[in-house]
Structure 1
Amino acid sequence: MKLMIRADDLGYSRGVNYGIYDSVKHGVINNVGVMVNMPDTQHGVNLLKDLNVCFGQHTNICVGKPLSDPSKIPSLVQENGEFKPSSAYRNATEDFVDLDEVILEIEAQYERYKQLMGKEPEYFEGHAVASDNFLKGLEIVAKRHGLKYFGFAFDDKPIIVNDNKVFIHMEAMDANYEPFAMIKRIVENPSKDGYDLVVFHPGYLDANILEQSSLTIPRTQEVKLATSDRLVKYMQIHDIKLYTFDDL
């Protein structure tokens, strides 16, 4: 089978950064998405800069401060100049994101990514927000700069990247989540004509993540699994090779 495992949210907090670092250095993670607008982004990049990782831009419009002028992107920000939270998107009855404004912020994050990493993102996608205009903006910017865009999938449909089908698996928000059980189900029922992508959010819990994110305990579970002998042995038994976005 063709299995990929991606870690999102590098930069979210120092606890998340250390969890992702351990999941790469001492575990199986080889794709990492960078949130470039966060105060702890440089810390995370410094931790992973010498490791063999496929890095992507994990574009974020719902946590922290924007990189563009808040006065120019009013549809995205609160009165304090910080992004509207993810709850605002979940509770909205219509898409309040202005396309031109979100493109401005996506471009700003793209430029910051290149400054931080010294290269183009190896893949390009977004921190989950229910907004058609956000997705449209990501696709426009990716096409403008020739980037490998990776969108969202709904109803178990695959995402097509360079004519490759990619089936996304992310269950961390589900009740009674058990990451090894998810991996086992995927391996026992692999996609026959594409890649299976497992999206992890590994991390340790600190004050910042507890204050800003609804995803907490599963982050620690994913670090534990990603760095475990149990997973390594299971993958060896089933002769599983892990792919990166460079393979798409």
Structure 2
Amino acid sequence: MKSLIVNADDLGRSAGIDAGIARAHREGIVTSATLMTNGPGAEGGGAVARENPDLGVGVHLVLTYGRPLSDPATVPSLVEPDGGFPVKASAVIGRGRVRTDEVLREYRAQLERARELIGREPTHVDTHHWVQEEPGVFTAFLELARESGLAARPLNDAERERLRAAGVRTPDRYVREFQHPRAIDVAALLALLELIAAAGDGATELMCHPGEPDPELERTSAYAVARPVELATLTDPAVRAKVRELGFQPITYGDL
């Protein structure tokens, strides 16, 4: 059986993103989302989760936006002098600066906050800006998934093997090609869905970043202008029809 998880990252980042994810789920092909728990919009993201019980909601674990939920004094390797997280993944990946125990402390706090916000057990975990590429972060990421029993997003085959060896559920494939500056129009997504189907049986996650127009977000995020384009593509009737035509079973991480 060919199963498809369409996961929208960044729930709780802004009101425009929240509205876009909700619409992409109700009117489009999005089946899943991951919630950022450490920003001022987290409550709004939690409300979207509660209002859409069929939307699988996981935790978008953050080390590169806002401030930690932990006391900054207890996670000094994760924060800048002002006590906030760095804003770029390059400050985490490849630097060897983060302590695994501090990452795990903060990730546990974010998971617990997600439980409070969405009112149910999250379906899975993934990382903002893919910071699990840093070895010390991945160790904490794996341990959080293992101890919580949640599924997890692997970025590559090696991560998938390590997660599964630890008893963590993962999809068989992870596809992140649907994003700007790569093509995010309808034709591009239709072609990508054909490629996923050609890979055969198994569960695939297709990552996306939909959102409604959001002037405030446009002032702080270069990707803001691409989000409404993604939303239009994900809700296009031709895309919905293609998912059915190719025989995909829409699922969430909770179904793995």
TM-score range, shorter chain: 0.7 to 0.9
Change (3 A) 1:154 1:183: farther
Aligned to 1:13: 14
Distance 2:111 2:22 in 1: 23
Q: Which runs of 5+ in 1 are unaligned?
A: none
Letter in 2 for 1:18: A
- Give the C-alpha shift of residue 163 in structure 1: 6.8
Q: 2:181 matched to 1:175?
A: yes
Structure 2 equivalent of residue 237 of structure 1: 245
> May I ask how many residue pairs the two structures share in their alignment?
247
Q: Is structure 2 residue 105 aligned with structure 1 residue 64? A: no
Equivalence for 1:200: 208
Shift of 1:181: 3.7
Q: What's the CA shift string for 1:2-25, capped at 9, x where partnerless?
A: 222111110111111111111112
Deviates more, 1:168-177 or 1:4-13: 168-177
| Partner of residue 118, structure 1 | 119
Question: 1:32 deviation in Å?
Answer: 1.0
Deviation of 1:149 (Å): 2.7
Structure 1 residue 212, shift from structure 2 partner: 3.6
Instruction: State which of 132, 146, 171 in structure 1 corresponds to 2:149.
Output: 146
Structure 2 counterparts to residues 75-90 of structure 1, below 5 A: 75-89=77-91
Q: Is the 8 A contact 2:146 2:168 kept in 1?
A: no
Coordinate RMSD, CA, aligned: 2.6
- Structure 1 residues 134 and 87, CA, compared in 2 at 3 Å: closer, same or farther? closer
Cα distance in 1, alignment partners of residues 186 and 158 from structure 2: 23
Question: Which residue matches 1:131?
Answer: 134
Unmatched tracts of structure 2, length 5 or more: none
Alignment check: 8 A CA contact 1:57 1:124 kept:
yes
Aligned to 1:137, what secondary structure does the other structure show? Answer: helix
Q: Distance in 2 between matches of 1:120 and 1:177?
A: 34
Distance 1:131 1:214, change over 3 A: farther
Normalising by structure 1, we get a TM-score of 0.87
CA shift in 2, pair 1:133/1:93, >3 Å:
closer
Q: 1:60 Cα deviation (Å)?
A: 0.8
Give the TM-score of the pair, scaled to structure 2.
0.85
3-state SS of 2:204 partner: strand
Q: Is contact 2:47–2:118 with CA below 8 Å preserved after alignment?
A: no
Counterparts of 1:155 and 1:185, CA distance in 2? 26
**Would you tell me which structure has more helix in proportion to its own residues?**
2
Q: Given the superposition, is the C-alpha separation of residues 164 and 81 from structure 1 closer, same or farther in structure 2, using an over 3 Å criterion?
A: closer
Letter in 1 for 2:186: F
